[in-house]
Structure 1
């Protein structure tokens, strides 16, 4: 049975607190933002659920230059930072697992915030000096929940191999999709998203957390409630104002189903790593399932210190879970959700 041996994470060194970020946006986009947009921006960025975010730039001057960033420059920044953060996360994960780069047999990378061909796996293989025969897969379009199907694919491709490992990487440069306007989807996105990467080492050895079973739901009825759309050749995030309620109507049911299929209830789950899509979404999931605050701790901590990084976020939360004392037999769950509308769950056991 495959297990997650370790998780590594990485962020750009540049970070900005919400208060300063809000002031910069109001100052440099005063010619664009309407009073109502400024009001909403201030309300979101003053909320205590997010303290700061990490952004893939070398300093504040580059951040300010987003207003005039060309699409070519944006893709170059996505590729450079996506590769760098992925490699940093992989190095941390393999060091924690005590394995070498030469043991990597499978590499799966998911992202939804940029498209390059060949994909990021090509750049990662080159940067880390991995075997040119590694089985490499680039997954795009999975949205914020992408880390879960990524892990499912990685363990499936690894199969029963005992002499190597699979590495599953979720990386998002959300700032590479930055657009400013009075569309409320853009206002919300600019207030909550950050950049980061996470890597999980998967192996068929006796230590680690066992990957028991995965479940997925794709509901096209809500496709337009959370997605990217192209406008003038640029990605624009679309988030329905009703998204928290939609998440509350769909995600808890999937959690209950994967539990029932394995003779469990949500009360049997000891450790939770839920995608921190936002304060309201976490509150919806908590309320519908009747979870206690402890179950939300890891997700809330990630949201507070990093914002919503899209797909790497739940692995950041799971890394916090692994840092705690997990007792043999404890049940864990990974919960991702996002574009599609998609909901991905993975049941694990220590």
Structure 2
């Protein structure tokens, strides 16, 4: 049995959302370049995203009523990095409050002993950890740490740290919070990487409670299921550091997102899956070495939770892994989160995992493989089990 479990997950997004079609037309109105408009049509209509949520409400207002952008129709001059970060500090607290009010309906806030916060889209000190501690009356001895600037895969090291804490302290209850406002880093540039990023990223907050089996009264759980945390694995793809990266610029974070990312992940994912399954000992659902099925590690996996970084990533991985149920079914939760919310960086995988715990989906018990992708190019993966 695992030493640690995800007992519950809660998610929240800003009230304001825009359809992908609305955003496409808005972006096209910002340029007179017909080639650029054609490229925007291609990436937005092929994104598999229907709508995205954002803390920025200016897009449906008249310029004189803008709160985030300067009061000009062309949104120029672009907001400084300081302006964007100040807006993050202002906007993130209501979303954090919203998600934790949901989470603490099923688990007493006073029982939280550790807090791991995650974000790559805004920073402050003291940060959201102190806000959570004061807002929900957490202990003054609450142990905290923050994981910053690790991008879309950062929820994995956060969950790994939570698992390690609980393994050493079975009485511990760890709150993991991923809070990302990606839309604050929208930039007007003809750079293709920036244009693709503008078409994908959105805002969202997600939180999970991790503890030992003894910590949870499963009979009163709002979920049908919990997720056991078995193994975590980190893989750096060689010669790919320039394919996904970013730096702090004068007008937000400058993003590098190569078109080769899906291909690079696809070329490595089968070996990553093989290694994490081969290293898992003591579970009868994993075929032993030398058995007829040992060459196919996907045969032992019942569920798949892949970070929906974009449509091309999901399509490439479903093809490479030869998922027997087909991409729309095997990766249905990943596709649905992408469709409804876009890419919310580190929070996104928790949105996907939440669906495995919700009663309406009635997922059967079994092993679950999860993966996320970040700068480096780094692949973070986990082997979990749905109970």
TM-score w.r.t. length of structure 2? 0.83
**Contact map agreement 1:90 1:169 (CA 8 A) in 2:** no
Greater helix content: 1
Question: Quick one: which of 287, 294, 315 aligns to 1:283?
Answer: 315
Q: How many angstroms apart in 2 are the aligned matches of 1:47 and 1:267?
A: 31
Question: Quick one: which of 3, 14, 37 aligns to 1:12?
Answer: 14
Q: How many angstroms apart in 2 are the aligned matches of 1:283 and 1:159?
A: 36
Residue 93 of structure 1 and its aligned partner are, at CA, apart by: 2.4
Across the aligned residues of Structure 1 and Structure 2, the Cα RMSD in angstroms comes to 2.0
Q: How many angstroms apart in 1 are the aligned matches of 2:313 and 2:307?
A: 9
1:1-350 to structure 2, matched below 5 A, reads 1-27=3-29, 29-30=30-31, 34-47=33-46, 49-58=48-57, 60-61=60-61, 62=66, 65=69, 67=75, 68-95=78-105, 98-205=106-213, 207=218, 208-219=226-237, 221-232=239-250, 234-262=252-280, 263-264=286-287, 265-291=297-323, 292-293=326-327, 294-323=329-358, 324-328=361-365, 330-349=366-385, 350=387
Q: How many angstroms apart in 2 are the aligned matches of 1:222 and 1:11?
A: 32
TM-score w.r.t. length of structure 1? 0.92
Q: 1:288 to 1:99 in 2, by over 3 A?
A: same
Q: Find the residue that maps to 1:332 and give its secondary structure.
A: strand
Q: How many angstroms apart in 2 are the aligned matches of 1:111 and 1:219?
A: 23
Q: How many angstroms apart in 2 are the aligned matches of 1:222 and 1:177?
A: 23
Q: How many angstroms apart in 1 are the aligned matches of 2:165 and 2:311?
A: 35
Tell me, which stretches of 5 or more residues in structure 2 are unaligned? 219-225, 281-285, 288-296
**Contact map agreement 2:187 2:251 (CA 8 A) in 1:** no
Greater Cα offset, 190-199 or 243-252: 243-252
CA distances 1:158-204 after superposition (whole Å, capped 9, x unpaired):
34545441111112110122111100011101111110011111111
Greater Cα offset, 274-283 or 61-70: 61-70
Q: How many angstroms apart in 2 are the aligned matches of 1:6 and 1:297?
A: 20
Aligned residues: 344
Greater Cα offset, 102-111 or 124-133: 124-133
Q: Find the residue that maps to 1:311 and give its secondary structure.
A: helix
Q: Find the residue that maps to 2:240 and give its secondary structure.
A: helix
Q: Find the residue that maps to 1:196 and give its secondary structure.
A: strand
Tell me, which stretches of 5 or more residues in structure 1 are unaligned? none
Greater Cα offset, 311-320 or 264-273: 264-273
CA distances 1:64-123 after superposition (whole Å, capped 9, x unpaired):
82734333321122122333323322332232xx21111111110111112323333223
**Contact map agreement 1:248 1:288 (CA 8 A) in 2:** yes
Residue 239 of structure 1 and its aligned partner are, at CA, apart by: 0.7
